[in-house]
Every structure is written in structure tokens, then in C-alpha cells.
Amino acid sequence: MKHKKAWLFIAISFAMLVVSLVLSLSVGARDIPISDLIATLRGESVNALYAPILTKRIIRTVLGLLAGLALGTAGCVMQSITRNPIADPSILGVNSGAALFVVSGIAFFGAKTPGQYIALALAGAGIISVLVFGIASFVPGKGAVSYNNANPIRLALAGAAVSTACSSLISTVMLPRTNVTQEFRFWQVGSISGGTWNNILTVLPLLVVGMVLAILLTPSLNALALGDDIATGLGVNVTRTRALGALSGVLLCGAITALTGPIGFVGLMVPHLVRIFCGVDLRVQIPVSAMDGALLLILADVLGRYIGRPGELEVGIVTAFLGAPVFILVVRKAKVGKL
């Protein structure tokens, strides 16, 4: 029965993904009817305006697809290595870490090119996520970092604390420099509208490495879900699996965050949804989460364009509005543990 439900879910998701891709190409400040869309894609010139609009929208859709795949996968991997239902870049303070590094780079080192932004965002995401997780699981006196210590509430609070610190530091860097403010406020809201092929190609290798790593890790991650002791008994190197999983998560989130700015909650919502229908086997969960991540992100983007007419509502805002209620639901269902 479960099996049937899972296949049905996957099939529906896939169909919806295809529909959302088409919608993403056709909906916008100027809608392109589907028939014209197909004609233009074939190379017939229906309307002189369509070709340039469509070029933009194709880049945007590809970027949305990649971002969704990456964030869905990253959320799934992060939740499984931390065994924590609310592990998501937006809660773990990863976004604000990336933002802090990017702002400092713009202000102090004159960072300008997307390559530099990406390197900075990656470094920030990595350092801050390690820091947050360390704070949540570190026990003073014992000195031992035990992953089981980091229950959801501690993780969330550590993330909130570090985010506060980061945003204060961001203000210190930014307030005396108005030019940085201008650059940064556009980056602070996650959006997939500003991509170029060049930028996408720059981060693509990172995304591929992160994805491949996540897929290669699935058997070990499955074992990890049984508990550290059993996983070790089954011949899994627990520490290495966690480290590689974290690397994959940070690569995926960091690279996408560098391109699009912070897009929260996608990685949080999707794995929970997928688990309901497809069960806990990560060999299924990770690829389906990736697909549904893309579906969610593109739908959110289309929705943002639809609601925000004649302009648009950035996708990061839409996902925050969809995601926060889901987060609250998850919190209410999960055993949040004690402080």
C-alpha cells in the first residue's frame, strides 16, 4: 500500500513539476500564451517581444530548478545527519553567516565578481553552520561534542543567537557605508530573477559535487538513522559520514545562497512532506526531496510573480510565508525535548 502511495506521489510530483516549469516560462509581468510559447521555442517569431522575455525566463527557471534541487537535497541530508527535524539553513543561521561574509567581502576586500561572492558565501555558510551545531551540542566541562545533545530547541536557539550576532555585525559593517547597503539589500531577499548563465556555470560544479556526495552517502545515512551504535556495528564510519554529509549540505546551500540570496524553509518543508508519502528510506527520500524542492521553489516563484503584479514578490518571501507555518506544525508534532 505504502509502495503504491509512494509511486503515485512521485508521479504527481513529476507531472506538477513539468506543469510548473511551463507556467514559469509563461507567467509574468507579460504573460505568454502556451501556444505562442511553443511556437517561440521552435524558433518561429510570433511576437518580437517574446524572444528576449523568454531568454530571461529560461535562465530564471533553470536557476529555480537547480536551487530547488539543491535546497531539497541539502535539507534532507542535514535533517538526517543531525537526526533533527528542524535542521534547515534558515533556522541554523547559515544564511546570515553567508550574508555576513558577503557583506564583509564587499566592504573590506572590494569583492565584486560572482565568483568572489560565491567563495565568501560558501565560507560563511560552512563556518557558521559548524559553529551553530557546535554550540548546540557542546557540553562545557565534559568537552565532548555529542550529536545526541543537540535537540531541536537547542539547535534553533543556537541558530537564533548566532543570527542575532551576525546581523549586528552586518549592521556595523554596513551602516557607515551606503554603497554596501545598496548592494546588500538586494541580496538579502532570496530571489532567482537575477541569474546569468555564467554565474550558474560557476556554481554548477559545486552543486554536482554536493549532489553526488549526497547520493553516494544514502546507504550510510540510512544506517545512521538507526542510531550511532547500530550504524557503527553495521560497519559505517559515523564521523566520516556526518562530515561528508555536512560538506554536501554546506556546498549545496552555500552555492545556491551565493547566487540567489537566502531562500529559507524549502529544505525544511520538503523532506517532511516526502516522508509522509514515501517513508524514511533515504534512497527514495533524497531524490524525491530534490524533485519536490524544485517543484516547491518554482511554484513559489510563479506565485510570487502572480501575486506581485506588475512587479513581483521575491521567492524568498513566498517560501518564508509558506514555510513558517509548516515549521510551527513540525515543532508542534515533534518531541521538542527539554532544555
Site of interaction with another protein (CB under 8 A): 86, 90-91, 135-142, 149, 152-154, 156-162, 164-165, 167-169, 171-172, 174-176, 178, 181-182, 185-186, 188-189, 264-265, 313-314, 316-317, 320-321, 323-325, 327-328, 331-332, 336-339
- Whose Cβ is closer to another protein: residue 60's or residue 119's? 60
Find the shortest distance in angstroms from Cβ 323 to another protein.
Answer: 8
Per DSSP, what are the bridge partners of residue 138? Answer: 145
Q: What is the dihedral of CA 135, 141, 145, 147, to 10 degrees?
A: -80
Find the shortest distance in angstroms from Cβ 199 to another protein.
Answer: 20
Per DSSP, what are the bridge partners of residue 145? Answer: 138
In the chain the beta strands, taken as DSSP E runs, fall at none
Find the shortest distance in angstroms from Cβ 158 to another protein.
Answer: 6
Find the shortest distance in angstroms from Cβ 125 to another protein.
Answer: 17
Find the shortest distance in angstroms from Cβ 336 to another protein.
Answer: 5
Rg for the chain (alpha carbons), in Å?
A: 20
- Whose Cβ is closer to another protein: residue 92's or residue 207's? 92
Please give the backbone phi and psi of residue 278, each rounded to the nearest 5 degrees, phi first. -110, 0
- Whose Cβ is closer to another protein: residue 9's or residue 138's? 138
- Whose Cβ is closer to another protein: residue 111's or residue 315's? 315
- Whose Cβ is closer to another protein: residue 35's or residue 178's? 178
141, burial (CB in 10 Å: exposed 0-12, middle 13-18, buried 19+): exposed
- Whose Cβ is closer to another protein: residue 2's or residue 142's? 142
Find the shortest distance in angstroms from Cβ 156 to another protein.
Answer: 5
DSSP structure string for 88-137: -TTTTTHHHHHHHHHHHHHHHS---SHHHHHHHHHHHHHHHHHHHHHHHH
Find the shortest distance in angstroms from Cβ 295 to another protein.
Answer: 21
CA distance 271 to 258: 23
- The cell numbers describing 54, all together, are 523568454
Would you say 84 and 331 are in contact if contact means Cβ atoms under 8 Å apart?
no
The phi-psi region of residue 235 (left if phi > 0; otherwise alpha if psi is between -120 and 50; otherwise beta) is left
- Whose Cβ is closer to another protein: residue 71's or residue 320's? 320
